[in-house]
Structure 1
Amino acid sequence: MSSAGAEAGGIPTGSEDPAMPPVPDDIRAAARTAPEHWFGTVDPAWSGEGEPPLWAVIGQWRSDADGEIVEWQRNDEYRPSPGMLGWPEPTDDVDAAMQLAATGYGPVEGVAMAVVTAELAVLTAPGGGAVSACTPDGDPVVPVFTAPAHLERAGALAHRVLPVSEAFALVPEGQDLYLNPTGPVALRLSADDLSRAVDVLEAAAEGKEEQY
């Protein structure tokens, strides 16, 4: 998907690519009506109102005096969305929030907000406790999974599916939950993160009640 918009100048931080990618049909059509212009292409994940931020602009095309596209300039500040990175469709609300947060298309706080009402699969040790592992940085964490697809990639291992509050009860002191380590993006979640999310949701609910 592309978004055509005529501009008088190029993206100042961009750089010309030696090989021009295929020109979208809507960009080519817009160029015919506006010679000597630049036309920005926006990441399809951007859904905000008004002019998109520079980081959501993939790049731009330039039309010549005859209305033909003759140049492509990529935007060095562009942040690809999960879809543009080729990541799989999110399995659930938590996975979706994680993907958006990791790419800058959503707030990091949105992950904890989504986890509040989620159930998580926790790998269990022989004694019934949670299995701990290490992040790539060597920090001890408890891996948890938000959907069967993520759990299955971890292998056929004993596990329990629990509400997030019960999952945290199994976490050893000083460790965090480690969400979806088998997915396209993994994220640590602390008890403090969850507590702040609960406070925000409760405050929002109280505000709605006061309106009635």
Structure 2
Amino acid sequence: MLTSEEWRYREGETPPPEAIVGAWPLDAEGGLGLFEPNPGFLPSGPRVPTDPADAAIRLALGGDVDAAGQIVPLLWSAVLETPVSEDGSPLVGSSPDDVPCVVVVTAAVNRARVEAPLWRRVSAAELVGLLPAATDVLINPDGPAAMRLLADVFCDGPPPDAPQAGPASQHKSAEERRRLPDRDSGTDSSRPRPGHVGVWGGSLPDEVEMNSLPPHVE
């Protein structure tokens, strides 16, 4: 279970539902399943990431190359949601840079920003089989850290040598998570940086709280 860093564990206490970011269910053999975001999680503000993938995207948009390399593994290790038509096929829209895209959200908070009548929960592997030709993946549109991910990069999945995304991968120091965009460097956050897996990224709000994940893991 992954809880918000703002919630402090005390012996004998159970975190309230709104403080639980999500959890990795265990299978019959004790292996980790896909990360399940908690629909009841309430971030205290736009500076707080909604889930591990959102946290990695925020860090990547701030210039963190290592975090950029974690985006695809984290997406492939989580339950995602996409707006669909009545037959269950993903709806295609346009990104802010006018590229056909299928929308993907990583948490319920991000879903609330997208007007769509129907949603479908999918794994990344399932979404690969549903993506129409010549469409990219638009992650968390209209949120504090949206990103257009190249379809080829998404569909290829995590590199073979990528570490397994799970609770252990969420243990970074507060200093590693405090890397903020250099707002005086003249760098346009909408442009890809070295090692960046996306080709379009939304602007981050001032003083993004990059150290909001991970907090307490059980």
> TM-score with structure 2 length normalisation?
0.49
| 1:9-158 to 2 correspondences below 5 Å | 87-107=46-66, 108-155=68-115, 157-158=117-118
- Residue type matched to 1:128 in 2? G
CA contact (8 A) 2:95 2:148 kept: no
Tell me the percent identity: 30
Q: Which residue, out of 125, 128, 134, partners 1:165?
A: 125
For 1:200 and 1:102, the matched residues in 2 are separated by: 24
For 1:190 and 1:156, the matched residues in 2 are separated by: 23
Residues 156 and 177 from structure 1, CA distance in 2 versus in 1: closer, same or farther, beyond 3 angstroms?
closer
Detail structure 1 runs of 4+ shifted over 6 Å in the superposition: none
User: How many aligned positions are there?
Assistant: 120
- Counterpart secondary structure, 1:97: helix
Deviation, 1:99, is: 0.3
Deviations 1:124-165, CA, capped at 9 Å, x for gaps = 113321011101111000011000000012136201111111
What stretches of structure 1 of length at least 5 have no aligned partner? 1-85, 205-212
Residues 129 and 98 from structure 1, CA distance in 2 versus in 1: closer, same or farther, beyond 3 angstroms?
same
Which structure: greater helix fraction?
A: 1
Structure with bigger RCO (C-alpha 8 Å, 6+ apart): 2
For 2:55 and 2:99, the matched residues in 1 are separated by: 25
What stretches of structure 2 of length at least 5 have no aligned partner? 1-44, 165-218
Larger Rg: 1
CA contact (8 A) 2:81 2:120 kept: yes
For 1:190 and 1:97, the matched residues in 2 are separated by: 16
Which structure: greater strand fraction?
A: 1
For 1:104 and 1:145, the matched residues in 2 are separated by: 22
- Residue type matched to 1:91 in 2? T
Residues 87 and 149 from structure 1, CA distance in 2 versus in 1: closer, same or farther, beyond 3 angstroms?
closer
Asked if residue 185 in structure 1 is aligned to residue 145 in structure 2, the reply is yes
CA contact (8 A) 1:99 1:185 kept: yes
Deviation, 1:199, is: 2.7
For 1:156 and 1:131, the matched residues in 2 are separated by: 9
Q: CA RMSD in A?
A: 2.5
> TM-score with structure 1 length normalisation?
0.50
